């Protein structure tokens, strides 16, 4: 799939310039308990036709990152610094109205739970046409036609009839398809999918991912796939960013991150995924300990309290924040104090046997 | 939808029958014979027996209930011969103390009460819900804090405290309003309005406080819903997100409460009428209780129950119009 997607990216659009460029993005919320540093200096770039997977346990800042790209945070209580460029245009600091015009037209989003994400009192058709009408004012009949077309395109049978039904009359999978239809109705260049399959059962999950891949090929859009499921990432992503405590701690192609991960946290994620380990439900190893508080992140490497390989006691892990540094493999970057050859050795000798395939 | 409505109506009728039976039984639990009360001071056993016979109180309770129900449908005649009094359908009993059918008392007093309740409800919906919504949208601002503070005071304020203060100030000190009372709006709409204004403001503003708090909480909850985030993600304008998406969902529980609150407003009307000396149903029933004029008390209890049951049905119907999950479920 990667091959198809990347060829689409090079052939579909004239320029190879990334559509989305995020640079040193920081997002902080002021709360009564203190400042939540939900995203703390992440950078990535994503061209059209490519998919970036963002993985991490819950609370690692994945959703905050995506909502920031959508401009959906309450400006009064959120501090955003760094840069987010969409097609070369800076959106951090842009006024509300201008960001609003881009939302749903240039960037669209689908959410985890399609039942709560759809309005219970409006028909599916109305909700999709509304998404079209905001950006194409006054074209009512056309909007309805588009809605039915999109429902058909995402594989909903009898789209004309279904358009007049309410969300509660749809099954979970059909609702997510409708959600996708709504997101794609304006043909956005970037689609952000925040855990789009987490609430669905496994067969439906696979269908939805297939559908997204199909649509990506057709529309040549960039996709950010947010998930805590490495199985999903391995199926759809070209690049992967692993997040921990608001930081990116490993970044690379899907082969690099899933076949030869170098960060101990990524190893932990890999070992806690059942789908990558066949039917080994009984010997799953969840990462011990719990995700850190983003108000009071552990010193040094935020993962050190949970890390089996930490070097502490004069060592760097509890004192210095590890930087995201290149490895011998071009494009693969890792933030860990362990020397690279040591990381490769540990992965090959201790981790690989248990995980993957 | 049709089946739902029919089911709901059948339930309402059953509830009405149950209430009427209960009310009837309750009045038999009253230790004093109504006949004795009606008869006055010097009353012989013969007089009482005669009155009881006229009222049908010598009949078994089942027969009395049947007579009462029949009276509602077809009217009835109390006593016979010279002393006979006729009570036209729908006959809800006869007030021997004032020598008129209970329905005449109701006809005289219901318009005033209806005026008070409807006016106060309009105020509490417009002012209360409006205030609550605006303060939810301006959460944390000075406006919000002022609104929350005011509604806290309002919600803990009582009519019999707030009412007399307004009365003293606006009517007796500043003379900007006439003494409250009831004039038919058909006869003199200006007078009707001026006389009703004080009861409306008092009851309406106090209930507004409750609605402001409810609406604010409801709106804040709705604004945090996923579908509101979806609406914003589509690029809808702020105003459209609020009006079409958030408000639409937040209003549902408010409608329910408003409907049920009309029942409570009846209770509020009793106090309001007493405070302002308006001749309404509330005051009539308080008088009837004081005089142990049981037919009147019973009719007003039934009427109130009927009203509350009808409001419940109306609320359910509105609910099904607003929420397709109810309509289609
Ligand atoms: N509006 C907000 N105000 C304060 N804290 C927030 C807000 N949104 C998210 N957070 C916090 O930021 C952290 C990251 O959240 P999120 O990005 O939703 O995690 P996830 O990776 O599971 O998607 C969490 O600790 C969350 O509590
Ligand atoms: S920096 Fe140290 S604590 Fe952090 S992941 Fe690497 S080895 Fe573990
Ligand atoms: Mg999330």
| Cross-strand partners of A38 | none
Report yes or no on B20 lying in a domain: no
Residues at CB less than 6 angstroms from ligand 2: A 263-264, 301, 303-304, 307, 309-311, 317, 322, 336-338
Reported confidence tier of residue A284, pLDDT bands at 50, 70, 90? low
Share of chain A above pLDDT 90, in %: 78
Residues B207 and B65 in one domain: no
Q: Which domain covers residue B158, as residue numbers? A: 103-322
Specify the CATH number for the domain of residue B279: 1.10.3720.10
Share of chain B above pLDDT 70, in %: 94
Confidence (pTM): 0.84
Q: Which two tokens stand for residue B78?
A: 């109390």
pLDDT, tens digit, for every residue of A307-336? Answer: 999 998 888 999 999 999 999 999 999 999
Q: How many CB pairs under 8 A join A and B?
A: 70
Residues B60 and B127 in one domain: no
Reported confidence tier of residue B37, pLDDT bands at 50, 70, 90? low
Share of chain A above pLDDT 70, in %: 91
Residue of B nearest to A71 (CA): B233
Pick A14 or B55 by higher pLDDT.
Answer: B55
Could you tell me which residues come within 8 angstroms of residue B25 by beta carbon, excluding any fewer than 6 positions away? B61
Asked if residue A63 lies in contact with residue A73, where contact means CB atoms within 8 angstroms, the answer is no
Mean pLDDT of the residues in chain A: 89
pLDDT at A283: 53
Report yes or no on B115 lying in a domain: yes
Q: Please tell me chain A's helix, strand, coil percentages from 3-state DSSP, rounded to the nearest 5.
A: 40, 20, 40
Q: Does B153 touch chain A (CB under 8 A)?
A: no
Q: Does A211 touch chain B (CB under 8 A)?
A: no
Report yes or no on B270 lying in a domain: yes
Report yes or no on B5 lying in a domain: no
Q: Does B229 touch chain A (CB under 8 A)?
A: yes
Pick A306 or A313 by higher pLDDT.
Answer: A306
CB contact under 8 A, B235 and A101: yes
Report yes or no on B12 lying in a domain: no
Residues of B with Cβ-Cβ distance to A98 under 8 angstroms: none
Report yes or no on B96 lying in a domain: no
Report yes or no on B27 lying in a domain: no
Asked if residue A317 lies in contact with residue A337, where contact means CB atoms within 8 angstroms, the answer is yes
Q: Does A169 touch chain B (CB under 8 A)?
A: yes
Residues B122 and B56 in one domain: no
Residues B190 and B311 in one domain: yes
pLDDT, tens digit, for every residue of B238-271? Answer: 999 999 999 999 988 888 888 877 777 777 888 8
Nearest to A104 among B225, B229, B233 (CB): B233
| Residue nearest ligand 1's atom 1 by CA | A29
Residues B288 and B311 in one domain: yes
pLDDT at B222: 95
| Whether residue A292 has its Cβ less than 6 Å from ligand 1 | no
Q: Which two tokens stand for residue B290?
A: 């004081």
Mean pLDDT of the residues in chain B: 86
Flag whether pLDDT at B65 surpasses 70. yes
Q: Does A100 touch chain B (CB under 8 A)?
A: yes
Residues B68 and B171 in one domain: no
pLDDT, tens digit, for every residue of B184-214? Answer: 999 999 999 999 999 999 989 888 998 999 9
Flag whether pLDDT at A144 surpasses 70. yes
Looking at the structure of chain B, the number of domains it has is 2
pLDDT, tens digit, for every residue of B235-247? Answer: 999 999 999 999 9
pLDDT at A280: 46
| Residue nearest ligand 2's atom 6 by CA | A336
């Amino acid at each position: 799939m990667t091959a198809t997607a990347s060829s689409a990216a090079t052939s579909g659009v004239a320029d190879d310039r990334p559509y989305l460029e995020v640079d040193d993005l920081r997002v902080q919320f002021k709360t009564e308990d203190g400042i939540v540093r939900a995203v703390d200096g992440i950078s990535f770039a994503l061209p059209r036709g490519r998919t970036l997977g963002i993985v991490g346990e819950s609370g690692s800042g994945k959703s905050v990152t995506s909502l920031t790209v959508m401009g959906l945070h309450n400006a009064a209580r959120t501090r955003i610094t760094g840069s987010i460029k969409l097609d070369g245009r800076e959106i951090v600091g842009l006024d509300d109205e201008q960001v609003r015009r881009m939302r749903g037209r240039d960037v669209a989003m689908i959410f985890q739970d399609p039942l709560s994400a759809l309005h219970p009192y409006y028909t599916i058709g109305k909700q999709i046409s509304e998404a079209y009408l905001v950006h194409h004012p006054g074209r009512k009949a056309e909007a309805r036609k588009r809605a039915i077309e999109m429902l058909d395109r995402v594989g909903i049978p009898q789209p004309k009839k279904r358009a007049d039904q309410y969300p509660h009359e749809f099954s979970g999978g059909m609702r997510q398809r409708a959600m996708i239809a709504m997101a794609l109705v304006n043909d956005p260049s970037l689609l952000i999918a925040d855990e789009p399959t987490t609430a669905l059962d496994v067969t439906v999950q696979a269908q939805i991912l297939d559908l997204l891949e199909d649509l990506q090929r057709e529309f040549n859009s960039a996709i950010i796939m947010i998930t805590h499921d490495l199985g999903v990432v391995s199926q759809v992503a070209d690049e992967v960013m692993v997040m921990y405590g608001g930081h990116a701690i490993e970044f690379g192609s899907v082969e690099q991150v899933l076949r030869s991960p170098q960060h101990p946290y990524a190893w932990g994620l890999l070992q806690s995924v059942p789908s990558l380990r066949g039917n080994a439900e009984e010997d799953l190893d969840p990462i011990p300990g719990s995700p850190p508080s983003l108000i009071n992140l552990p010193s040094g490497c935020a993962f050190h309290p949970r890390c089996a390989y930490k070097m502490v006691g004069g060592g760097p892990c509890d004192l210095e924040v590890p930087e995201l540094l290149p490895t011998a493999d071009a494009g693969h970057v890792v933030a860990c104090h362990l020397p690279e050859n040591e990381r490769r050795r540990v992965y090959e000798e201790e981790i690989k046997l248990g995980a993957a395939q | 939808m049709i089946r739902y409505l029919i089911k709901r109506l059948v339930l309402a009728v059953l509830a009405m029958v149950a209430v009427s039976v209960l009310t009837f039984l309750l009045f038999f639990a009253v230790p004093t014979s109504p006949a004795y009360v009606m008869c006055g001071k010097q009353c012989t056993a013969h007089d009482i027996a005669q009155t009881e016979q006229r009222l049908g109180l010598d009949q078994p309770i089942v027969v009395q209930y049947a007579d009462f129900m029949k009276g509602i449908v077809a009217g009835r005649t109390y006593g016979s011969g010279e002393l006979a009094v006729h009570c036209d359908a729908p006959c809800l009993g006869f007030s021997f103390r004032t020598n008129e059918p209970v329905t005449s008392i109701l006809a005289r007093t219901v318009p005033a009460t209806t005026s008070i309740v409807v006016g106060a409800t309009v105020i509490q919906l417009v002012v209360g819900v409006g205030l609550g919504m605006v303060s939810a949208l301006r959460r944390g601002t000075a406006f919000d804090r002022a609104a929350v503070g005011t509604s806290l005071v309002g919600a803990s304020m009582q009519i019999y405290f707030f009412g007399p203060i307004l009365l003293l100030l606006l009517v007796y000190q500043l003379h900007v309003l006439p003494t409250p009372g009831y004039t038919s709006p058909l006869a003199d709409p200006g007078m009707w309005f001026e006389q009703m204004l004080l009861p409306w403001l008092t009851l309406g503003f106090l209930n507004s406080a409750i609605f402001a708090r409810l609406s604010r909480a409801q709106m804040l909850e709705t604004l945090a819903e996923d579908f509101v985030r979806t609406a914003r993600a589509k690029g809808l304008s702020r105003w459209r997100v609020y009006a079409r998406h958030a408000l639409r969902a937040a209003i549902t529980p408010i409608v329910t409460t408003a409907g049920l609150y009309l029942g409570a407003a009846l209770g509020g009307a009793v106090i309001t009428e007493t405070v302002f000396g308006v001749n309404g149903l509330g005051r009539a029933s308080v008088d009837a209780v004081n005089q142990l004029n049981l037919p009147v008390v019973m009719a007003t209890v039934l009427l109130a129950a009927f009203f509350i049951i009808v409001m419940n049905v109306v609320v359910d119907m509105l609910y099904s119009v607003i929420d397709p999950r109810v309509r289609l479920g």
